[in-house]
Structure 1
Amino acid sequence: MKVLAPLFAFFALASAQGLTIGTPKKGQRIPMERPFTVQVIKNPHIISSIEVALTIGIVSCPQSSGCPDPSNVGEVLYQGPYRPRPHRAGGNYQNFTVTIPFDEDLIGRSQLTVNRFFLIGAQNGATLQSYGVEIDTFPL
């Protein structure tokens, strides 16, 4: 079992570094009920992965407790395939156009969440990776 510990740590590190949100940026103001682009970047991996699915969601960040863990998807804005393509600038990514519906609970500080489900390694181990970025949402 001691031999496997470094291997599990390696997989955890690889998956933790595998995803970022290019846009919107932290603190960006996003109007509700208006489409905007979410750029999901797949960072280079040492090992290959097979993409299964992706979700993009929005969840409010209460002032008293802060933003929840990004694995809490919240209101689903997108659910479906993730097929990042190589680009000259910015690496491998895919853009998604989503719209935040009007919801009084989402006005102000919110977290845009991205959850990526993929298979990794020779045994195709199922992996879920979560990432979030705080944004400021407002009604039009």
Structure 2
Amino acid sequence: MKSIISPVVLASVSLAQNSIIGLPTTGYTVTKGSNVTVQVQRLNSLTGSTEIAVVIGVSSCVSIACRPAGEVMGTILYQGPFDPQHHESSQPPYQNFTVTLPNLIAAGNAQINVARAALVGAGPFPYLETMNRTVVVV
């Protein structure tokens, strides 16, 4: 019985630690060579966590279909600490990252990819999640 309960508990704790990309919004138009704000939000949770890092990349989806961030991060735009803070009471804790879109990226659909690593729970155990957001490059 113990072995069945543990995976369920770990899964529910993991789900409670999810993050989302707040900015840019889906379909947002970005210009080659310009700065883009990527907002990573950590959803509120009762389970404690210690942030390790976040990685932000961009990949072109013009000639091929976009692949999940868990498979390809693309060109790395940022890698380093993640320290989400409360800014507005109506928003979960988040951190904004200003990254520069490469000049060489093809015009058309592209994907902002984010990977977040944390230690979760009292144990703690390692947690890695990936997410993405489709934007339009001009």
- CA distance in 2 between counterparts of 1:63 and 1:101 reads 17
1:12-68 per-position Cα deviation (integer Å, ceiling 9, x unaligned): 3223xx21111110001100101121111111013011000011100122555x311
Alignment-derived partner of residue 7 in structure 1: 9
Alignment-derived partner of residue 97 in structure 2: 96
Contact 2:62–2:108 (CA under 8 A) maintained in structure 1: no
The residue matched to 1:45 in structure 2 has which SS?
coil
Amino acid paired to 2:79: Q
The residue matched to 2:133 in structure 1 has which SS?
strand
The residue matched to 2:9 in structure 1 has which SS?
helix
**Structure 1 residue ranges (4+ consecutive) displaced by more than 4 angstroms after TM superposition:** none
TM-score normalised by structure 2 residue count: 0.89
Alignment-derived partner of residue 132 in structure 1: 132
Amino acid paired to 1:14: A
Task: Show the 5 A alignment for 1:51-66.
Answer: 51-62=51-62, 66=65
Alignment-derived partner of residue 83 in structure 2: 83
Q: Alignment identity in percent? A: 32
TM-score normalised by structure 1 residue count: 0.87
- CA distance in 1 between counterparts of 2:92 and 2:29 reads 25
1:107, CA displacement in angstroms?
Answer: 2.2
Contact 2:66–2:110 (CA under 8 A) maintained in structure 1: yes
1:68-89 per-position Cα deviation (integer Å, ceiling 9, x unaligned): 1112211000011001111124
1:73-132 per-position Cα deviation (integer Å, ceiling 9, x unaligned): 11000011001111124221111110111224x321111011101000111111111110
Unaligned 5+ segments in structure 1 are none
Alignment-derived partner of residue 46 in structure 1: 46
Instruction: Indicate the RMSD between aligned Cα atoms, in angstroms.
Output: 1.5
Task: Show the 5 A alignment for 1:9-28.
Answer: 9-15=11-17, 18-28=18-28
